[in-house]
Amino acid sequence: MTATSYPVIRRNGGCGVETHRPFAATATALRRPLRAEGWYRRSSGRDICPDCWKAGRR
Ligand SMILES: [Zn+2]
């Protein structure tokens, strides 16, 4: 097995920023550290990157 896959979180509906963490096996495991970095998740299911959140583009 050489192929590696990992979840990617994208700031959807906005700037399109993508982020991922190689150690995160699932999207749920990925969102935990991202939250500490300033990412947010709207109740609608949208992920908001820190820059957009600070700029008020929610
Ligand atoms: Zn953004």
pLDDT tens, 1-55? Answer: 556 677 888 887 678 888 888 888 888 888 888 889 999 988 888 889 999 999 9
The ranges assigned to domains in the chain are: 9-55
Cβ atoms within 10 Å of 49's Cβ, excluding its own? 23
Distance (Å) from CA 56 to ligand 1 centroid: 10
Distance (Å) from CA 54 to ligand 1 centroid: 9
Q: What is the reported pLDDT for 38?
A: 92
pTM exceeds 0.85, yes or no? no
Closest to 39 in 3D by CA, of 28, 24, 53 = 53
Distance (Å) from CA 49 to ligand 1 centroid: 5
Cβ atoms within 10 Å of 39's Cβ, excluding its own? 20
For the chain, state the CA radius of gyration. Answer: 12
Is 10 strand, coil or helix?
A: strand
Distance (Å) from CA 25 to ligand 1 centroid: 23
